[in-house]
Amino acid sequence: MSDVQTEFQNFFKAAFTVDNVIFGFDDGDLKVLLIKRGEMPYEDNWALPGYFINEDEDLDTAAKRVLEELTGLRNVFLEQVETFGSVNRHPFGRVITIAYFSLVKISNYKLQPDSIALKAKWHSISKVRDLPFDHSDILSSCFEKLKQLVRIRPLGFELLPPKFTLTELQHLYESILETELDKRNFRKKILSMDLLIDLEETQEGVAHRPARLYKFDRKKYEQFRAEGFTFELKESRKKMRKAMINHQ
């Protein structure tokens, strides 16, 4: 073996993985999909659905395969977010991971854990704590990206049911931005965009006064996705008063 071959061999001692951050929205709550690991390290711990990349596959193919094997989710659009390569991020050796994320309607998918996944379950993102490896950092990075996207791209089509109320849409934005929004300002802003179609229907079987139902105008929705927009929102007066009191 030549000196050059020996030198290059030192660069082939790292493994590569993909980790998927899948967001869903259900009952006014933003959730993330986690698996319970069935192998060491961190056996029996909840973690992001991720695993090693095979030698004969590219990154996007690996991300889709791993997601399907561990959770049963298929035909999910995955967007590459960031690469994580801290030297000691994996206790077994040098492992570099590529993080992907996606937004899905929870009701459209049935979870079928397999491979190293003992279970797959949706978790409220506000209650997720202390994930193994550097998965907390990966989740945080993808969550920050989601917060940025919600201000420049319409996201409700991927997360809400076909028919929804303005309150449900506002709760989606509040869950992502982690703040309470001014109701009047939000409705004025969203309706002025001509992004929604009033179905001239109301909710059925609810204890409170039925609210009007809307759906997204697909043509307008795709236009906004392609061109982007600026969606700045005001916090609620109650939220602003509380912040002022805390500041004093």
Q: Which of 96, 122, 149 is the last residue of a domain?
A: 149
Look up the domain containing 201 and give its range: 156-247
- Co-location of 144 and 164 in the same domain: no
Find out whether the peptide bond into 132 is cis, omega within 30 degrees of 0.
Answer: no
DSSP state of 187: H
pLDDT of residue 247: 42
Tokens for 17, please give them: 């993985």
- Co-location of 108 and 139 in the same domain: yes
- Co-location of 235 and 171 in the same domain: yes
What's the pTM value of the predicted model, to 2 decimals?
Answer: 0.87
- Co-location of 210 and 96 in the same domain: no
Q: Which of 116, 132, 149 is the last residue of a domain?
A: 149
pLDDT digits (tens, 9 = 90+) for 76-97: 999 999 999 999 999 999 999 9
Q: Which of 149, 182, 216 is the last residue of a domain?
A: 149
Taking the C-alpha atoms of residue 163 and residue 197, their distance in angstroms, rounded to an integer, is 10
Question: Hey, what's the torsion of the CAs at 9, 14, 18, 21, to 10 degrees?
Answer: -150
- Co-location of 127 and 7 in the same domain: yes
pLDDT digits (tens, 9 = 90+) for 210-247: 999 999 999 998 998 888 777 776 665 555 445 434 54
pLDDT of residue 245: 45
- The number of folded domains in the chain is 2
Taking the C-alpha atoms of residue 5 and residue 233, their distance in angstroms, rounded to an integer, is 58
- Co-location of 177 and 202 in the same domain: yes
- Co-location of 123 and 12 in the same domain: yes
pLDDT of residue 128 exceeding 90, the answer is yes
Q: Which residue did the predictor score with more confidence, 207 or 128? A: 128
CATH assignment at residue 237: 1.10.10.10
CATH assignment at residue 116: 3.90.79.10
Q: Would you call 223 helix, strand, or coil by DSSP?
A: helix
